[in-house]
A and B are shown apart, each in its own frame.
Chain A
């Protein structure tokens, strides 16, 4: 008989078997009755001799089955029925797992994109970024180590000429906004500057045309541009004739030499690429280039390392004499991930902890359910069910629930991935975006398997402890001593992990509060700012630039309600320009250093209400022909000059000697030189917009878009349009690229902290909820289980309060255990947050004590609330039941 026919004739087989067994018993009975037994006696004897008919019949059937598969299917059906019967329980479990697994999947897709997924380039393992490692001992004896990917023009030339084992390319990591003129319309587009070899290094071939030539990549070389596929399609309708034609970028013609293939990704979201034209002067005098290298076919990384080891770019030898600098090749992916790595891994740990807490909590719920099913299990054991079948069923339910949770969680992650990514500031997202691929799915599957095995381990072992005959002692204590202790441990572990998460979230909240409550140093109300790109040869001429600024500001002051108007190279909350400056005469002595700086118009301080503490602000009399002057802020005076009595001191900017004429208050700004906090009171000096020369304007406007700012007496309706009209009076072809309030800028500067706080608060809130529900469930189950015992105790004279404390106490012991271990764990675990904290230490006692007390008080409530039901226990009824 082949298996196919067996499959369909099985029901007939089964009924044959039952009938046969029935006939057998009947024949036996008849024979025994014929031998003189009564019918009842005969029936009993026949059954005794036959053995367990049900079991034997089942075993007979099993001969026809693929038993393991069918057993599993049967257990599955049974588990489904059980879950359908308790929709509330099922819903809660699946919902918890959906959230936990969904969050893990989404965050892991980020980790995957950042650290695991190969970069979308040919042979990505042969790509490396050039990094400079600075090491040394600081004056206080602290060891200092820092890795940086920014390089100057000298380093670029050194690497280009002296490392034969690689093909290097210089590039700017991000894109900047420039103006493109098409058919007399000005468009604001994103441009990334890259060197001639850049696309060769990444291994991207243009769809049309060619890459840049070496000639185009020399300073002042021919102007060429390569378009992105999407931009080419949308702006030039995919016209191949565009190749060789000129388009007007920044007011100058650039020849289109190539179009990139669709989906080609570089390190920035760019509409077009232009040659970076690296050199030693101008931007090449600072660490403004990134360098990516491709290993040549017959070379090894060891050769590259030895070739790099002998190179010593001079820049850092001049500025940081106490440090040793070393160039190294860092895997490209690792270098791209550098700053995002820690926050992403912190987030991953947090969601991992959530999954653990959820699993612990669900285990508790399952154990309670199992303890309520003890009678059913006993009955089945007594009827001859093998213990293995009971255990298999105890595993099937967690498996089924985890699978349901995994599917819903995956669906949640798929649907929510876009909104999840939108939470993050663009520079915190991994390069190439996040998506759910095979690796993420495998991770989700592993999570699911992990959760079901974790829960199953407890339910299976607990079901193995059920005895057919309950002991009297068992009845008293609820027969669940082992699972009871397990539940206490689980709750303790939940509380422990929750404390760590809460403390972490608390520290991040305190960081954000610290950064936000730093005094801004200016008045942001009623100020509107707007940026425009001056990266245009017309405005490289100082006279043209000055008249544009003067005319547009004059027009803006005509807008009704406007109190003052100004222009500045950068605003508070924006990264400033870094420039070298020489201290010529100061109490602290002569020095050469780098500092944040900006050119400004005379009304800048008035418009932003930055206080002038000594001397004066700039005036219209500070012209290009008058004495060069600077204004410094308090941080600059204290850190670099060593005195607040600054008026009359002198600074050297290049070859120019400037007099310090004023001292102003600090403003909050992201750091320029060293990353010590997202916002701080940076040392800064200001120069008048009239005292800058052509190379300076050309250089800084390639990087920065200056801001126009207008202070109104109150809110002014239609201000953006009025500002644009005012600018157009000075230059009809110059658009503002964007308008911002200063609050917007602060939000942007703190966006990473904000999203970290948001996510960790939500996650720790979830953990908190799960733990408190867990404590409540533990104690309330205790009340149910110990009902009889409590009744007897009260009948024997135990007071209500005493009974409540006894029961709640066991919950509190678990909580206390959890808090204790949580505090110890925090001491280690919170170290990972160190790099993300500002204005608060990673072991901040106030935060730790605060969250412990918060958790403790919530746990107290959750422990005592269920014990109120003890009041309803009637001792007399209990005694009657005994």
Chain B
């Protein structure tokens, strides 16, 4: 099965978790938030959010409940669980280490060019 990958495996999930860390959101709001925050630099297919959310639901990182939004719309809101919170901290710190590594490798190349 061909998997449509985002930036790198797990990036979308990490962004979702990080966003949910601040406040609970429903799917549409989540996507809009990620797009907005990244200044539309990340071209995320909106729908690709849902398989990721389903996986995290199954893994128990998030939980979902139907409710009514501020605009009076029936929405399914996602909230981070305790385990999700731990998970995102672990992931983010390891991601930052990786990013730092990549930056160091790329930096001299950029100076030379």
Least distance between A147 CB and chain B CB atoms (Å): 61
Q: Which residues of A contact B53 (CB under 8 A)?
A: 60
Tell me how far the C-beta of B33 lies from the nearest C-beta in chain A, rounded to whole angstroms: 14
Q: Output the least CB separation between A26 and chain B (Å).
A: 8
A51→B46 contact, CB < 8 A: yes
Nearest 8 pairs of A and B residues by beta carbon: A56-B47, A51-B45, A63-B54, A51-B47, A59-B51, A60-B54, A50-B47, A63-B55
User: Which of B16-24, B72-80, B82-90, B96-104 forms contacts with chain A?
Assistant: B72-80
A215 CB–B CB distance under 8 Å: no
Q: Which of B22-61 contact A (CB under 8 A)?
A: 26-28, 45-48, 50-51, 53-55, 57-58, 60
- A52 to B4, alpha carbons, bound, how many Å? 11
Q: Is B1 in contact with chain A by the CB < 8 A criterion?
A: yes
Which residue on chain A has the smallest CB distance to residue B31? A24
Cα distance A262–B26 when bound, in Å? 78
Nearest B residue to A46, CB-CB: B46
Q: How far is the CB of A770 from chain B (nearest CB, A)?
A: 38
Q: How far is the CA of A853 from the CA of B58 in the complex (A)?
A: 69
Q: Does B2 contact A (CB under 8 A)?
A: yes
Asked if A56 and B73 make an inter-chain contact with CB atoms under 8 angstroms apart, the answer reads no
B-side contacts of A51, CB under 8 Å: 45-48
Tell me the smallest distance from the CB of B69 to a CB of chain A, in Å: 9
Q: Which of A6, A16, A28 contacts B46 (CB 8 A)?
A: A28
Given contacts A1-B60, A28-B46, A23 and B51 within 8 Å (CB-CB): no
A12 to chain B, nearest CB (A): 11
The minimal Cβ–Cβ distance linking A21 to chain B, given in whole angstroms, is: 6
Q: Is the CB of A17 within 8 A of B58?
A: no
Nearest Cβ in chain A — how far from B52, in angstroms? 9
- What are 22 A-B contacts defined by CB distance under 8 Å? A1-B60, A6-B58, A13-B54, A16-B66, A20-B50, A21-B47, A21-B50, A23-B28, A23-B76, A24-B27, A27-B28, A27-B73, A49-B46, A51-B46, A52-B47, A56-B48, A56-B51, A60-B50, A63-B55, A63-B58, A386-B2, A389-B1
CB distance from B16 to the nearest CB of A (A): 14
A53 within 8 Å of B by Cβ? Answer: yes
Could you say which residues of chain A place their CB within 8 Å of the CB of B57? 63
> Residue A388 at the B interface, CB < 8 A?
yes
By size class, the interface of chain A is 20 to 34
Contact between chains at A63 and B46 (CB < 8 Å): no
A493 to B55, CA, bound (A): 51
Check: A61 CB closer than 8 A to any chain B CB: yes
Q: Known pairs A21-B50, A56-B51, A57-B50. 14 more at Cβ < 8 A? A: A1-B58, A1-B60, A23-B76, A24-B46, A50-B46, A50-B47, A51-B45, A60-B50, A61-B54, A63-B54, A63-B55, A64-B54, A386-B2, A389-B1
A383 to chain B, nearest CB (A): 15
Expressed in whole angstroms, the minimum distance between the Cβ of A466 and any Cβ of chain B is: 17
**A residues in contact with B54, CB < 8 Å:** 13, 17, 60-61, 63-64
Asked if residues B1 and A388 are in contact (CB atoms below 8 Å), the reply is yes
- Measured CB to CB, the closest approach of chain B to A445, in angstroms, equals 29
Taking CB as reference atom, which chain A residue is nearest B66?
A16
Chain A contacts for B73, CB-based, 8 A? 23, 27
B residues in contact (CB < 8 Å) with A = 1-2, 26-28, 45-48, 50-51, 53-55, 57-58, 60, 64, 66, 73-76
Give the interface centre of B28, B60, B64 by most chain A CB atoms within 10 Å. Answer: B28
Bound complex: CA A127 to CA B29 (Å): 83
What are the residues of chain A within 8 A of B45 when measuring CB–CB? 49-51, 56
Most A CB atoms within 10 A — which of B50, B64, B74?
B50
Minimum CB–CB distance for B76 against chain A, Å:
5
Chain A residues with CB under 8 Å of B46's CB are 24, 28, 49-51
Instruction: Give bound CA distance, A6 to B48, whole Å.
Output: 22
Are A64 and B58 in contact, with the CB atoms below 8 A? Answer: yes
CB distance from B27 to the nearest CB of A (A): 5
CB-CB < 8 A to A63: which residues of B? 51, 54-55, 57-58
Bound state CA distance, A59 and B66, in angstroms? 21
- Docked complex Cα distance between A56 and B58 (Å): 16
Instruction: Return A531 CB to nearest CB of chain B, in Å.
Output: 77
CA–CA, A655 and B28, complex, Å: 118
Task: Please tell me if the beta carbons of A17 and B50 are within 8 angstroms of each other in the complex.
Answer: yes
A62–B58 Cα distance when bound, in Å, is: 11
* B-facing residues in A1-56 (Cβ within 8 Å): 1, 6, 13, 16-17, 19-21, 23-24, 27-28, 49-53, 56
- The smallest beta-carbon distance between A698 and chain B, in angstroms, is 85
Smallest Cβ-Cβ distance to B50: which chain A residue: A60
Assembly CA distance A871 to B58 (angstroms):
64
Asked if B50 and A56 make an inter-chain contact with CB atoms under 8 angstroms apart, the answer reads yes
In the complex, what distance in Å separates the CA atom of A765 from the CA atom of B44? 65
Chain B residues in 8 Å Cβ range of A61: 54
Chain B residue at smallest Cβ distance from A14: B54
Q: Which residue of A lies closest to B56 (CB)?
A: A63
Q: Which residues of B contact A21 (CB under 8 A)?
A: 47, 50
Which A-chain residue is minimally distant from B3 (CB atoms)? Answer: A59
Most chain A CB within a 10 A radius of its CB, from B27, B54, B57: B54
**C-alpha gap A148/B87 in the complex (Å):** 80
A513 to chain B, nearest CB (A): 63
B58, A16: Cβ atoms under 8 Å? no
Query: A879 to B55, alpha carbons, bound, how many Å?
Result: 56
Task: Tell me, in angstroms, the Cα distance from A23 to B26 when the chains sit together.
Answer: 10
User: What 0/1 readout, one digit per residue, does chain A (346-362) give for beta carbons within 8 Å of chain B?
Assistant: 00000000000000000
List of B residues within 8 angstroms of A57 by Cβ: 50
How long is the Cα–Cα vector from A60 to B1 in the complex, in angstroms?
14
Decide: A20 and B76 in contact? CB cutoff 8 A: yes
List, in ascending order, chain B residues with CB within 8 A of A386's CB: 1-2
Complex-state Cα separation, A386 to B2, whole angstroms:
7
Expressed in whole angstroms, the Cα–Cα distance for A64 and B51 within the complex equals 10
Residues of A within 8 A of B2 (CB): 386
Central interface residue in A16, A20, A28, A51, by most chain B CB within 10 Å: A20
Chain B, residue nearest A386 (CB): B1
Complex Cα spacing A24 to B27, Å: 7
With a CB–CB cut-off of 8 A, which chain B residues contact A62?
A: 51
Q: Which residue of chain B has the shortest Cβ distance to A16 in the bound complex?
A: B76
Least distance between A535 CB and chain B CB atoms (Å): 80
Report Cα–Cα, A93/B53, bound state, in Å. Answer: 46
Residues on A with beta carbons closer than 8 Å to the beta carbon of B76: 16, 19-20, 23
Nearest CB of chain B from residue A848's CB, rounded to whole Å: 54
- Min Cβ gap A45→B in Å is 11
Contact code string A506-537 (vs B, CB < 8 Å = 1, else 0): 00000000000000000000000000000000
B26 neighbours in A (Cβ, 8 Å): 20
CA distance A63 to B55 in the complex (A): 5
Of all chain A residues, the one with the shortest Cβ separation from B30 is: A24
CB of A9 to closest CB in B, whole Å? 11
Nearest chain A CB to B58's CB is how many angstroms away? 5
CA distance A536 to B32 in the complex (A): 110
**How many angstroms between the C-alpha atoms of A24 and B78 in the bound complex?**
14
